[in-house]
Structure 1
Amino acid sequence: MQSTQPAFFKQGPKPLTRLLIFSALSFVLIVGDARFAMLGRVREQVSILLYPLQWLATAPFSAVRTTNDFFTKQTQLLAENRELHDAQLAAQAQAMQLTALEEENRHLRQLTATQASQPQATQLVEILYNGRDPFSAKLIVDRGDKQGVRSGQVAIDAKGVVGQVVRVQPLTSEVRLISDRNHMVPVEVARNQLRTVVYGMGRAQPLEIHNLAPNADIEPGDILRTSGIDGLYPAGLPVAKVIKVDRQATSFARIICVPLAEIDQHRFLLLLEPPAARPPYPAEAPASAPVAKKRGR
């Protein structure tokens, strides 16, 4: 009776034999794949089967890399956005400064043209600040006694009369605006030479003409200019424009005007030289006593 050995004790090829077989098989596969591309299709199929495992293995690293890239780009975008915003603000500030310089340059050209058109000498002054008294309309300019400014000089801009110098310090001067309550300017209507006086009503308030008869020949739109009869304001300077005439208010017409000068819009003014003192009138010669004729004897 033939004895059977349990399968558990069966032995296959020896390890050395297996090594030789698999080495030879590997060599054949390497040579065949290198020379004849025998395993190309097999490699493609295997890569398709292994792709999910490869994706699962690399997914955490890809997620970390993507998250880092997202936050890095987010930080870069925020920094670029901040830089662009700062550059925009700087450009806007430069544009506003350029606009202000262009406006100031235009005003200075107008003052230069006005200066050339004046028969008397003028002096360019810069406004430093408004007067501190809230109940008056005054300006402080940067020229004073040392620069030849004198009390009584008329201040004008390119459009008309601004005011008059009322106080002179060594380095600064005080200009009372025509809108001040204590200021009055003798004027005439340019259309018909009707003489009157225009009064200030306060800072940022219109001007008024008082004590003019209701039937006076003055209409809205009339231009008022200095009459020159006071000896302080040279004749012919534009002062104001009539905007309203109320002939029914009281026994006198109520006439509202607005200054032609752009009082609160610029930094520079022109000061006119004060008019020269008029020579005194010559005294009249006393009448000579009549000479008595001698009667002949």
Structure 2
Amino acid sequence: MRREGHAIKLAFTKKPAQNFRLLVFAITSLVFLAADRRGAIGALHSGLDAAVYPLQQLVSAPVRFAGWVQDNLSGYAGILEENQRLKEEQIRLEARLAKFSALEQENIRLRALLGASIKIGEHFLIAELLSVNLVPYEHLVLANKGSNIGVHVGQPVFDSRGVVGQVLRVSPVSAEVMLITDPNHAIPVQIERNGLRTIAVGTGRIDRLILPYLSGSADIREGDRLVTSGMGGVFPAGYPVATVVDISSTGSSLAKVSAEPIAPLDRIHEVLLVWTRTDVQDKVQEGPSPAANGAGGASVQHAPR
């Protein structure tokens, strides 16, 4: 009974203190509300915000750093992807540029050949080279035109600068051309300056011909240009063959004369297959046109033995 009475007594003694605290809190709240409505508490709010701001920044810093890293990584990946795309585009453009450059060079060569064909004034056909054989003692190239369009053995072959050689063998779709530098080839020439006639013979070197049948007293100089003489009936007269580059004495009655072909034989890509007026006349007698059959009117000129 004593314990129960003591508890009741404590309850009655604590209740007024609790009510007092509640009253104090209520009054304080009313005071703050009144002060806030009048704006007097704004300075306190600002001070509290200023005090709390560093803590807010510190708490949000990891989140902001993670976002910054993510943005930078995605931006770097985008830059790498764009860089790779630009590299691929550059390669494609360089390939196209190289193709355009090759086409431009081909166009220049074809224009030069067309100009040469106008100067030649004969019946002609442009042919592309399929293969080149330049071993020391055999200078042959294969052209993509054959007897099915009238190409024949012995037919003269030019490029835009001068004489290249003559047809050695033909098939229906191709022609094998012996270059003038082949050691088995000889071509009648004359010195353009004075009309002196002789024979130019291949040496097996792509950049050299020799004139073995000139006397030591012949009127020939370095720099003289050699042109076809028209002798033999194969090559039309007057077309460039070579330029004299060296003259020396052999100790005998003959001079040692070397000449360099005017046509760049190691760099040609297209050639002119030429039908001379004699060929045309022969073909007219044999058939309807020089391109009708694969017959050959002239034979290949070989170097004298």
TM range (shorter): 0.7 to 0.9
Deviation at 1:130, TM superposition (A): 1.5
> Residue 240 of structure 1 contacts residue 259 of structure 1 at CA under 8 Å; is this kept in 2?
yes
> Residue 196 of structure 1 contacts residue 209 of structure 1 at CA under 8 Å; is this kept in 2?
yes
Deviation at 1:234, TM superposition (A): 1.2
Question: Which of 212, 221, 224 is the equivalent residue of 2:214?
Answer: 212
Separation in structure 2 between the aligned mates of residue 178 and residue 214 of structure 1, nearest angstrom: 24
State the partner residue of 1:288: none
Deviation at 1:152, TM superposition (A): 0.8
> Residue 152 of structure 1 contacts residue 274 of structure 1 at CA under 8 Å; is this kept in 2?
no
1:78 and 2:80 aligned: yes
State the partner residue of 2:161: 159
Q: 1:120 to 1:45 in 2, by over 3 A?
A: same
> Gaps spanning 5+ residues in structure 2: where?
1-13, 283-305
Separation in structure 1 between the aligned mates of residue 251 and residue 35 of structure 2, nearest angstrom: 124
Deviation at 1:275, TM superposition (A): 5.4
Q: 1:192 to 1:59 in 2, by over 3 A?
A: same
Superposition pairs of residues 113-152 of structure 1, within 5 angstroms: 113-131=115-133, 135-152=137-154
Q: 1:124 to 1:270 in 2, by over 3 A?
A: same
User: Structure 1 length as normaliser, TM-score?
Assistant: 0.78
Question: Which of 195, 210, 220 is the equivalent residue of 2:197?
Answer: 195
Separation in structure 1 between the aligned mates of residue 44 and residue 200 of structure 2, nearest angstrom: 109
> Residue 222 of structure 1 contacts residue 241 of structure 1 at CA under 8 Å; is this kept in 2?
yes
1:108 and 2:105 aligned: no
User: Structure 2 length as normaliser, TM-score?
Assistant: 0.76
Which amino acid in the other structure matches residue 24 of structure 1?
A: L
More helix per residue: 2
Question: Which of 7, 30, 41 is the equivalent residue of 1:24?
Answer: 30
Deviation at 1:265, TM superposition (A): 3.0
Which amino acid in the other structure matches residue 97 of structure 1?
A: K
> Residue 209 of structure 1 contacts residue 256 of structure 1 at CA under 8 Å; is this kept in 2?
yes
For structure 1, which segment, 251-260 or 145-154, has the greater mean C-alpha deviation from structure 2 after superposition? 251-260
Separation in structure 1 between the aligned mates of residue 90 and residue 104 of structure 2, nearest angstrom: 21
DSSP 3-state at the match of 2:213: strand
Deviation at 1:42, TM superposition (A): 4.9
> Residue 179 of structure 1 contacts residue 200 of structure 1 at CA under 8 Å; is this kept in 2?
yes
Separation in structure 2 between the aligned mates of residue 13 and residue 132 of structure 1, nearest angstrom: 122
DSSP 3-state at the match of 1:236: coil
Q: 1:42 to 1:266 in 2, by over 3 A?
A: farther
Identity of aligned residues (%): 32
> Residue 188 of structure 1 contacts residue 225 of structure 1 at CA under 8 Å; is this kept in 2?
yes
Say which structure, 1 or 2, has more relative contact order (CA 8 Å, 6+ apart): 2
Separation in structure 1 between the aligned mates of residue 38 and residue 206 of structure 2, nearest angstrom: 103
State the partner residue of 1:88: 90
Deviation at 1:81, TM superposition (A): 1.3
State the partner residue of 2:234: 232
1:241 and 2:243 aligned: yes
DSSP 3-state at the match of 1:276: helix
Which amino acid in the other structure matches residue 206 of structure 1?
A: R
> Residue 136 of structure 1 contacts residue 203 of structure 1 at CA under 8 Å; is this kept in 2?
no
Which amino acid in the other structure matches residue 53 of structure 1?
A: L
Separation in structure 2 between the aligned mates of residue 51 and residue 202 of structure 1, nearest angstrom: 94
DSSP 3-state at the match of 1:81: helix
Which amino acid in the other structure matches residue 192 of structure 1?
A: N
Q: How many residues align?
A: 266
- 1:92-115 per-residue CA deviation (whole Å, 9 max, x = no partner) reads 222222122122112212222222
Aligned-CA RMSD value = 2.8
Q: 1:18 to 1:119 in 2, by over 3 A?
A: same
Q: 1:63 to 1:233 in 2, by over 3 A?
A: same
> Residue 141 of structure 2 contacts residue 177 of structure 2 at CA under 8 Å; is this kept in 1?
yes
Deviation at 1:21, TM superposition (A): 3.7
State the partner residue of 1:294: none
Which amino acid in the other structure matches residue 88 of structure 1?
A: Q
